């Protein structure tokens, strides 16, 4: 009812992130998989043998979360965790064929989602946005270690 101040860019980012999660819910629910699990599984298809520590870094979550997240995926036969021959501390995680099949459409679904949410922008504007966001992300403190 009253006039509000202009939202900051970070608030806008927050809202868009929320909308993204909301819009992806159907795809996620159909496969009885959590959003993070789908993300991780998709990442593993592209990067087989990633160790859990790095999965945590990529998905911006904690090592504890990765443990329980993979536990669910492993029980459903969607991933395998194999001991590394050269380093007994780590476990290398691979997506199984069933896992790969489950998330086969994930990148496309994400791209379509991207397209839907960015619909108000034309091609040039999208390119600009991409460029600006990339510039910001490049300077963010990175959770990865190399």
Give the interface size with DNA as a residue count (CB under 7 A): 27
Q: Whole-angstrom Cα distance, residue 38 to residue 57?
A: 16
Report the SS3 class of residue 136: helix
Count CA within 13 A, CB hemisphere, residue 97: 0
Report the SS3 class of residue 104: coil
Q: Whole-angstrom Cα distance, residue 94 to residue 122?
A: 39
Is position 132 an interface residue for its own copies (rule: CB under 8 A)? yes
Q: Whole-angstrom Cα distance, residue 35 to residue 29?
A: 9
With CB under 5 to 8 Å by kind, the binding choice for 101 among its own copies, DNA, none is none
Shortest separation between residue 139's beta carbon and DNA, angstroms: 21
Is position 64 an interface residue for DNA (rule: CB under 7 A)? yes
Binding DNA by CB under 7 A: which of 13, 63, 127, 136?
63
By CB under 8 A, the residues from 59 to 78 that bind its own copies are 60
53, with CB counted inside 10 A (0-12, 13-18, 19+), is middle
Is position 87 an interface residue for its own copies (rule: CB under 8 A)? no
Is position 47 an interface residue for DNA (rule: CB under 7 A)? no
Interface segment toward DNA; rule CB under 7 A; list 31-39, 41-49, 123-131, 133-141: 31-39
Binding residues for DNA (CB under 7 A) = 34-37, 51-53, 60-72, 81, 87-91, 145
């Amino acid at each position: 009812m009253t006039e509000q101040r202009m939202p900051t860019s970070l608030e806008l980012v927050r809202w868009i992130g929320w909308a993204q999660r909301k819009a992806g819910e159907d795809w996620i629910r159909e496969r009885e998989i959590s959003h993070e699990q789908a993300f991780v599984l998709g990442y593993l298809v592209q990067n087989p043998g990633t160790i859990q520590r790095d999965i945590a870094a990529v998905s911006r979550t904690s090592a504890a979360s990765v443990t329980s997240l993979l536990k669910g995926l492993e029980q459903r036969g969607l991933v395998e965790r194999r001991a590394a021959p050269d380093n007994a501390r780590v476990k290398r995680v691979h997506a199984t064929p069933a896992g790969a099949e489950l998330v086969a459409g994930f990148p496309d679904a994400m791209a379509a989602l991207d397209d839907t949410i960015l619909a108000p922008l034309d091609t040039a504007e999208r390119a600009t946005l991409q460029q600006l966001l990339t510039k910001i992300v490049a300077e963010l403190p990175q959770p990865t270690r190399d």
